[in-house]
Structure 1
Amino acid sequence: MHIQVIFRVIGLMIMVFSLTLIPPILVSLIYSDGALQAFLYAFVINLVGGAVVWFPFRNFRGDLKIRDGFLITVLFWSVLGLFGSVPFVLTTDPELTFTDSLFESVSALTTTGATILTHIDSLPESILFYRQWLQWLGGMGIIVLAVAIMPMLGVGGMQLYRAETPGPVKDSKLTPRIAETAKALWYIYATLTAVCTLGYWAAGMTFFDALCHSFSTVAIGGFSTHDASIGYFDSVLIEAICTLFMLISALNFGLHFYAWRHKSVWHYFKDSEAQFFFFLLFSTITMASIVLAITSTYDWATSIRYAIFESVSIATTAGFGTSDFSVWPHFLPFLLIVTSFAGGCASSTGGGMKVIRILLILKQGFREIQRLVHPNAVIPVKVGGKAIEERVVSAVWGFFSAYLLVYVMLMIGLMATGIDQVTAWSAVAATLNNLGPGLGEVAANFASINDPSKWMLCFAMLLGRLEVFTLLVLFTPMFWQR
């Protein structure tokens, strides 16, 4: 393992990360919101901190191996989460503890959207901007951004790409070179953000709100500049725009690349994962609309409106809100939280286990039923008419088992700190799935839960963002053996 090279790259990335504080500094200057000093100090701390890490190892060169890729990926997300918390620690409005500052930073970078902040409407504009700016940076992954500039840093990036890219099949690339792939994805990502901003602005948001909400919409993060989230605007048009871009961002970005390259949209309708994704959404929306209407929670038109937005928001793991779904009748709160376990499609900005994995698990389960009837038959698992390799099917089952085991252990850990079962269940789901809102005490925010639980939930956010195995592999003895 090339420890010196790893520290050199981490130091460089911390220094690059310090530059991301320049936009909130400019926002603070424009609005004179009183947070300028905190961001200036944070900029100096991050820049100097990165230099201190980089300087002793500045002359080391070398290619990253697979194990190096896993280690540097985890360190990037955890270290940048730590340095991202510095402005929150230094600001006096809001006045946060270190634990709360770290929680907010990690939640933003992992695009979870779980917050410990209250009275968001009255916070300084630069703080509001910074939260959603972090979500935008984390949306496609700071590691993928690093891959695009890795040639300038003198190290290879393929190992990082494989370690960070979500989904069960990590070796497929859109372009022959990994740097070109990363740049292509970022062009698409930036274009979607710009179009989303213009859409919100035209629909009635201020430009500041439009820009901030476009960051968290395309990143599927869910942070808002208002306590009432998207519900603050009470606009069907804004909700429709938000719903559209949540759906686009939850689809595989490879499909967007294909649409851009070939000027065609028909492949969206032919993709098996996209088809299953929309089937899940349609089923959830239908059930939610019917239950809300027949229980007289809302009239039919309002039921359909809220059911569409909340179902898409929770299922894609965005976490925006127009209505408090936690108080909806019967099984609806539970149903919506469960949909977040599927989350978005592979290679999207969504969280959860990814739709393709759920589809493969269902197909594998159906195959086992068929084998009971035809025990000697060779029945491949197919997606889109193509047989899936057995190693991929086995890997998906392994991931599913690890995901549920981690979920149960974290839930027990939270309950051991005194948190009730409903809150613990939903808090782990909200963080492990990178969703944001939960039920019980964490329906509105996570401010009231204890510090040990917040640390466990920070770990859950990193596990979810790195899809469990990338982080868990570091805790195995085999990883550290020479």
Structure 2
Amino acid sequence: MQTQQSSSGLLMRLPLSLLIWGLFAASMFVPASYAVVRNNHPASQSFFYSGLLGLVCVILIALSLGGRTPRFGTLGQLMSLLFAFALLPVYLAIPMHDALQTTSFLNAYFDMVSAITTTGADLFADPARLSPPLHLWRAQVGWMGGMMMWVAASAILAPLSLGGFEVTARGQPGRGISGATRMQRADPRKRLLRISVTLVPIYTALTLILWMLLLISGETSLTALSHAMSVMATSGISPVGGMNGASAGIAGEALMFLFLFFALSRLTFSTDTSGAASARLDKDPEFRIALLLIVGLPVLLFLRHWLASLEIGATEDLSQALRALWGAVFTVMSFLTTTGFESADWDEARQWSGLGTPGLILLGLAVIGGGVATTAGGVKLLRVYALYLNGLREMQLLVHPSSVSSIKSGDRIQRDGAFIAWVFFMLFAMSLTVICLALTALGVSFENAMVLSIATLSTTGPLIEVAAQTPIRLVELGPWAKAVMCVAMVLGRLETLAIIALFTPDLWRNR
């Protein structure tokens, strides 16, 4: 017992960035072992030696610190997240580049940034170009990046009122975690350890359950595991190019659809960030808005078939109609959660609705995004709900200027939540404009630059292939364009407010 307490105390004294580095270094032994099983010894050596080198470096740095670690509080942990998303992929790209040997190191770094930020932008259009251990590594990095966001939401972002918590009543003075006094009173390291012990087993168990269910539905082992990890992390990474290459069919899509609900609201798996004493999922505004979009938008696309044509052909049967409806429901759900999996029946849904390339709909869904404190990206549903309430109130004032508001926001939105949500939306729009201008200045067409900007800032990489008239080949972009996209992916994962918070003078004071 004393040995366990001393080891845990030693780990708590280490910088968070060093712990994250060690965790990813140790995880390299998983694809190394898988490569040995498949008799791919060059790939196994790449991952084994890279993981071993990383662990040796972590141990040497930990010994050199000798427990004398500067304490920067929660803001220091936020800096560690920036390190994990921006600098750690340099190390993660080493085995990827060494095992593939047919791409540049910049491409390998871009792919790792895309994976760890759960963007899932597919730089390698042909899945056959990568070996199975590399496919597993990409999905594993994305899964671990999603796990970091699950833990960081309540351990790092919530105390700082970032990541959507600035809109909630939890971030309001006098409620929940209130300001620096309360934040300093609680030890950030103990809070991080406690939340990790609580949430990591849940995240892992859900992934294993989905993996087993996909195997039962007829999916192959690697594809089932990759899709299970991609659904939980909303990364959209697939070793077979998406649902069209999967073997499970509609049954597999239905199982993935059910587990995508965990990206719509934090209340689906935890109440650790809820400001209410007893949180109910059916009363959660995020969950209700998501259901409205998931049901309403596919129904409109489905009914457009009859609105565009007064006569129904005899060849149209019920099964074709149901396949079109399911393809729309699954795809809307996937892009709303910024996962980006396209249903195998999506082409049927497009033909049924009469839309050639409904890329604008998918772009809009990705911008809205999923729930606060989930692995989904985008603006987030709670901010959209706050702006909706404010717009409804303004329309009431137009009719009755002296009226008293009767709109109830519940326990999730604070008094100035709409204003704060509008500030974030403007920051998101400004970031989108800057990234788009930078890409166009580097020779990318305006339409492609807009798609690339939204895909990276909303962490929905599959938009790059399905939103434009013709799929955008990332491998053909220049080095500077890829660098701009890497910055955009990190910015989209951490959000602009979190980046601005890193410039506070409190971060640079050794407390």
Q: TM-score, normalised by structure 1?
A: 0.84
CA distance in 2, matches of 1:141, 1:193: 15
CA distance in 2, matches of 1:311, 1:442: 20
AA of the residue aligned to 1:167: G
Instruction: Please name the residue that 1:75 is paired with.
Output: 83
CA distance in 2, matches of 1:112, 1:394: 28
CA distance in 2, matches of 1:78, 1:111: 13
Instruction: Please name the residue that 1:241 is paired with.
Output: 255
CA distance in 2, matches of 1:14, 1:164: 26
CA contact (8 A) 2:43 2:99 kept: yes
Instruction: Please name the residue that 1:440 is paired with.
Output: 468
CA distance in 1, matches of 2:302, 2:471: 21
Ranked by relative contact order (alpha carbons within 8 Å, sequence separation 6 or more), the top structure is 2
Instruction: Please name the residue that 2:5 is paired with.
Output: none
Q: 1:200 to 1:391 in 2, by over 3 A?
A: same
Once the two structures are superposed, residues 84-127 of structure 1 have per-residue CA deviations (whole angstroms, 9 ceiling, x without a partner) of 2222222235x221221111111111111112013213521110
Aligned-partner SS, 2:426: helix
1:108 to 108, 111, 115: 115
What is the Cα deviation at residue 27 of structure 1? 0.7
Once the two structures are superposed, residues 8-51 of structure 1 have per-residue CA deviations (whole angstroms, 9 ceiling, x without a partner) of 44234322321011111111111112411211232134234434
CA distance in 2, matches of 1:6, 1:334: 48
Aligned-partner SS, 2:269: helix
Q: 1:381 to 1:461 in 2, by over 3 A?
A: farther
1:168-179 → structure 2 map (5 Å cutoff): 168=165, 169=168, 179=193
Instruction: Please name the residue that 1:151 is paired with.
Output: none
2:438 to 393, 398, 413: 413
Instruction: Please name the residue that 1:379 is paired with.
Output: 405
Q: 1:158 to 1:194 in 2, by over 3 A?
A: closer
Once the two structures are superposed, residues 298-333 of structure 1 have per-residue CA deviations (whole angstroms, 9 ceiling, x without a partner) of 942332132122111111111112357798725721
AA of the residue aligned to 2:87: V
CA distance in 2, matches of 1:479, 1:13: 20
Instruction: Please name the residue that 1:396 is paired with.
Output: 421
CA distance in 2, matches of 1:24, 1:457: 27
AA of the residue aligned to 1:471: I
For this pair of structures, how many residues does the alignment match? Answer: 459
What is the Cα deviation at residue 391 of structure 1? 3.7
Instruction: Please name the residue that 1:468 is paired with.
Output: 496
Q: 1:230 to 1:220 in 2, by over 3 A?
A: farther
Once the two structures are superposed, residues 125-146 of structure 1 have per-residue CA deviations (whole angstroms, 9 ceiling, x without a partner) of 110111101111111316827x
1:40 to 43, 48, 52: 48
Question: Which shows bigger deviation, 220-229 or 21-30?
Answer: 220-229
Pairing 1:167–2:164 present: yes
Aligned-partner SS, 2:241: coil
CA distance in 1, matches of 2:439, 2:13: 34
Q: 1:410 to 1:237 in 2, by over 3 A?
A: same
CA contact (8 A) 1:230 1:239 kept: no
CA distance in 2, matches of 1:198, 1:12: 30
CA distance in 2, matches of 1:431, 1:442: 18
CA contact (8 A) 1:184 1:257 kept: no
Once the two structures are superposed, residues 258-294 of structure 1 have per-residue CA deviations (whole angstroms, 9 ceiling, x without a partner) of 69xxxxx993322222111110121221233344685
Highest Rg: 1 or 2? 2
1:322 to 302, 324, 343: 343
Aligned-partner SS, 2:72: coil
1:344 to 370, 392, 408: 370
Once the two structures are superposed, residues 205-235 of structure 1 have per-residue CA deviations (whole angstroms, 9 ceiling, x without a partner) of 1222211211111111110011244544371
1:428 to 449, 453, 461: 453
CA distance in 2, matches of 1:292, 1:89: 48
Q: Which runs of 5+ in 2 are unaligned?
A: 1-11, 178-189, 273-277
Instruction: Please name the residue that 2:210 is paired with.
Output: 196
CA distance in 2, matches of 1:288, 1:335: 10
Q: 1:472 to 1:258 in 2, by over 3 A?
A: closer
Question: Percent sequence identity over matched residues?
Answer: 24
CA contact (8 A) 1:252 1:345 kept: yes
Q: Which runs of 5+ in 1 are unaligned?
A: 148-156, 260-264
Question: Which shows bigger deviation, 29-38 or 323-332?
Answer: 323-332
2:136 to 129, 132, 150: 129
CA contact (8 A) 1:220 1:249 kept: no
- What CA RMSD, in Å, does the superposition of the two structures yield over aligned residues? 3.5
1:275 to 285, 288, 308: 288
Instruction: Please name the residue that 1:285 is paired with.
Output: 298
What is the Cα deviation at residue 185 of structure 1? 2.3
CA contact (8 A) 2:232 2:262 kept: yes
CA distance in 2, matches of 1:338, 1:43: 40
Instruction: Please name the residue that 2:324 is paired with.
Output: 303
Question: Which shows bigger deviation, 133-142 or 326-335?
Answer: 326-335
Q: 1:143 to 1:228 in 2, by over 3 A?
A: closer
Q: 1:422 to 1:18 in 2, by over 3 A?
A: same
CA contact (8 A) 1:188 1:257 kept: no
